[in-house]
Amino acid sequence: MKLGYLCKFSVEEARRAQRLGFQCLEVHATSLIENLDAPADLKAVAGRTQDVLDKHGITVSAIANYGNPLLDDPAVTLSRYRVLFELAKLLGVGVVTSMAGNLPERPYKEAMQRFELVFKPIAQAAEDMGLRVAFENWPGMWGDIPWHSVNLAWSPRNWTEMFTRVPSQALGLEFDPSHLVWQGIDHIQAVRDFKDRVYHSHAKDTEMLHHNLRREGILGIHHNCWRYRIPGYGVVNWAEYISTLIEIGYDGGIAIEHEDPVFWGDRFEEGLVRGFQVLNPLINPG
């Protein structure tokens, strides 16, 4: 396993990753390709990127493309993923991380049908290139009651249906325990149950704000019942989580997704350092 963090790619970010001791980065696709519908010369992009990576002794663990892929024309969405796959192949990156998407105003069944329509050809394209797509399990709730999700991949029940509708092994998970914690889902059991589908991991913690939770209940998620934290500052047992990844044979990237409001702004890098201090001894002992 390699430890990194999610970021927009730049020379400065590569320099910081090296200075802080990280081994890899998960990079937002749009920081490499501004427009997926009219991409620049991908070989040139990959060459420039690889030069920076080599100079600073780091790798890219995944290329991240977060959005709602179910809303656009399926042919357009497929074309965009093909661009991502080509760039990933040029950089020697095996995983493209993604949202599964959703139809926020439509019934669940209809959204799952759309997922099948959109991702069957994407999965085939990934298979053809020897690549994988890993869905982050962010619920993506927005607005006021009733909540509307922009991402179907929020729970084990949904993962089971997704992988039944599109059984290709090219599709899997970017596993993030923080999103399962506040839902009351056993994230350790979920890792075990979907061990063959964990293709990338986010490292983000969850702090439960119990004084608000007791007042609002879990449906009050947008009323401060929880907040994201740097690993080690929430309720996730990171030794247990990393141990479980080791046990299931996972050997991919683990990227800190820094959304901690305490270590923000001028303290952003401090947050990365604190997360590194918690995770690195577990991932790279000695």
Domain chopping of the chain, boundaries? 2-283
Q: How far is 233 from 238, CA to CA, in rounded Å?
A: 10
Q: For helices 268-283 and 238-247, what crossing angle results, to 10°?
A: 50
DSSP letter for each residue of 39-74: ---HHHHHHHHHHHHHHHT-EEEEEEE-S-TTSS-H
Percent of the chain with pLDDT over 90: 90
Q: How far is CA 212 from CA 67, 110, 223, in A?
A: 30, 34, 8
171-175/141-142 β-pairing? unpaired
- What is the structure's pLDDT at 39? 86
3-class state of residue 213 by DSSP: helix
% of the chain beyond a pLDDT of 70:
98
Residue 222 has pLDDT above 80, yes or no: no
Identity of the amino acid at 107? P
Terminal CA-to-CA distance of the chain, rounded, Å? 14
Asked if residue 191 lies in contact with residue 248, where contact means CB atoms within 8 angstroms, the answer is yes
Instruction: Give the least confident one: 156-160, 208-212, 215-219, 232-236.
Output: 215-219
Residue 83 has pLDDT above 80, yes or no: yes
- Is residue 95 exposed (0-12), middle (13-18) or buried (19+ Cβ within 10 Å)? buried
How far apart, in whole angstroms, are the C-alpha atoms of residue 190 and residue 156?
7
Burial grade of 37 (CB within 10 A; 0-12, 13-18, 19 or more)? exposed
Q: Is the pLDDT of residue 216 over 90?
A: no
Distance CA 243, CA 259 (A): 24
Q: What six digits make up the tokens of 240?
A: 């247990």
Q: Is the pLDDT of residue 80 over 80?
A: yes
- Please give the torsion angle defined by the CA atoms of residues 252, 31, 238 and 277, in that order, rounded to the nearest 10 degrees: 110
pLDDT, averaged across the chain: 95
Q: What is the pLDDT of residue 113?
A: 98
- φ, ψ dihedrals at 3, nearest 5°: -100, 130
Give the tens place of pLDDT for each residue, 234-263. 999 999 999 999 999 999 999 999 999 999
DSSP one-letter string for 173-211: EEE-HHHHHTTT--HHHHHHHTGGGEEEEEE-EEEE-HH
What are the start-end ranges of the H helices in 73-221?
A: 74-91, 108-129, 156-165, 177-181, 187-193, 210-216
Question: What pLDDT does 146 receive?
Answer: 67
d(CA 10, CA 64): 15
Q: How confident is the model at residue 268 (pLDDT cuts 50, 70, 90)?
A: very high
Q: Give the model's confidence band at 227: pLDDT under 50 very low, under 70 low, under 90 confident, else very high.
A: very high
- CATH class label, 2-283: alpha beta
